[in-house]
């Protein structure tokens, strides 16, 4: 990686860590910032699944496993919120592992249908298990994240949104670095080879089922981690929060942002989170807006929003060449 690019990434990270301080006097802006962080984790983790040619329509279901597990472990068993976060993510991963092999052995539309049905099954379990989850009423009064003490420096409590904004930044950064590292590794290259030609990958000794199951489980772990954070941040959980539309939105983030480039999922998650939140009139028509954006990208910007600067540059160069030809 070039030094200039590394420096630009470091500067970008610093800017993002300064943003909560700039927004600290406006609770709503901080809330939107936190939502962006959650959606970035969800989009990056879902994109990892797509690198093997798979599509999941049930990613929000695994987020709900992490959310409910973390909340219940704290409220019912009195566990530390941070231990519950990890255990909630592990629970989402365990559920994914239980279904990974049968699910990953099917392809294309069949895989999409199975993940869709399983995501809905998870939601129905949380809806009907009233004694444990509260049913449609959900769970209220979920404790916030525990106080963090840094000896000799500070004590951080999560009584305001500002600490949550820094915490989700750390989680998002860990997620980005983890999946970026995987994508640049031998494992990531194997994922891409499976997506390009599954039969050819299998013919040279690649255990396709194992690799598909691996990325599916890892991705669901991070979805569960995002869910656990959401539970303690929001303090309220309801099954409908993790229904079909949230799963579809996460997939739209990946496609609109640009599935082929790593930064695409990040850009898609941030832009599509900001649009309905900043333009409140759009909020009511969010599904229609997302569908419209999806069609625009498919027909006009196939590489996604991440390729927009490149496309603008190409068009500007064409205009410049035409001007020179006409001169």
Tell me if 130 is assigned to some domain.
yes
**Does 323 fall in a domain?**
no
Decide if pLDDT at 108 tops 70.
no
Among 23-37, 103-117, 198-212, whose mean pLDDT is lowest? 103-117
In the three-class reduction of DSSP (H, G, I as helix; E, B as strand; rest coil), residue 194 is classed as: helix
Average pLDDT over every residue of 254-266: 90
Tell me the whole-structure pTM to 2 decimals.
0.92
- The CATH number of whichever domain residue 70 belongs to comes to 1.10.3470
Which has more pLDDT, 285 or 118? 118
Q: Where are the alpha helices (DSSP H) in 51-160?
A: 59-77, 81-104, 108-128, 130-133
Confidence at residue 42, expressed as pLDDT on a 0 to 100 scale: 96
> Quick check: is 82 in a domain?
yes
User: Is residue 312 assigned to a domain?
Assistant: no
pLDDT of residue 269: 93
317 has a pLDDT exceeding 80: no
- Sorting pLDDT into bands at 50, 70 and 90, what band is 142? very high
* 59 Cβ contact list (under 8 Å, min separation 6): 42, 45, 46, 49, 115, 119, 219, 220, 223, 247, 250, 251
In percent, the amount of the chain with pLDDT more than 70 equals 96
Count structural domains, the chain: 1
Cα(213)–Cα(179) distance, integer angstroms: 16
The answer to whether position 45 is within a domain reads: yes
Residue at 279 is within a domain? no
111 is a domain residue? yes
Query: 88: domain range?
Result: 3-245
Q: For residue 124, is it within any domain? A: yes
- Please give the Cα distance from 325 to 83 (Å, whole number): 67
């Amino acid at each position: 990686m070039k030094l200039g690019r590394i420096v630009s990434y470091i500067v970008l990270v610093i800017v993002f860590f300064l943003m909560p301080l700039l927004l600290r006097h406006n609770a709503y802006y901080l809330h939107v910032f936190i939502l962006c962080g959650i959606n970035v984790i969800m989009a990056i983790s879902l994109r990892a699944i797509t690198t093997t040619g798979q599509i999941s329509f049930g990613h929000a279901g695994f987020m709900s496993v992490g959310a409910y597990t973390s909340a219940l472990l704290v409220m019912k068993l009195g566990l530390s919120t941070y231990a519950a976060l990890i255990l909630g993510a592990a629970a989402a991963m365990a559920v994914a592992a239980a279904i990974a092999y049968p699910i990953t052995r099917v392809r294309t539309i069949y895989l999409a249908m199975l993940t869709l049905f399983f995501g809905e099954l998870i939601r129905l379990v949380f809806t009907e298990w009233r004694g444990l989850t509260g049913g449609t009423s959900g769970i209220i009064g979920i404790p916030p994240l525990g106080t963090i003490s840094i000896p000799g420096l500070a004590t951080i409590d999560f009584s305001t949104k500002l600490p949550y904004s820094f915490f989700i930044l750390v989680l998002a950064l860990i997620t980005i670095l983890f999946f970026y590292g995987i994508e640049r590794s031998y494992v990531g290259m194997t994922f891409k080879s499976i997506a390009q030609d599954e039969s050819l990958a299998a013919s040279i000794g690649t255990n396709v089922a194992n690799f598909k199951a691996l990325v599916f489980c890892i991705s669901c772990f991070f979805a569960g981690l995002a869910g656990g954070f959401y539970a303690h941040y929001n303090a309220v959980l309801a099954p409908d929060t993790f229904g079909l539309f949230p799963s579809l939105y996460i997939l739209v983030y990946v496609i609109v942002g640009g599935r082929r480039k790593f930064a695409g999922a990040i850009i898609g998650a941030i832009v599509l989170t900001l649009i309905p939140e900043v333009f409140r009139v759009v909020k009511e028509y969010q599904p229609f807006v997302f569908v419209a954006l999806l069609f625009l990208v498919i027909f006009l910007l196939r590489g996604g929003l991440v390729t927009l600067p490149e496309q603008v540059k190409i068009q500007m160069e064409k205009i410049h060449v035409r001007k020179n030809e006409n001169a």
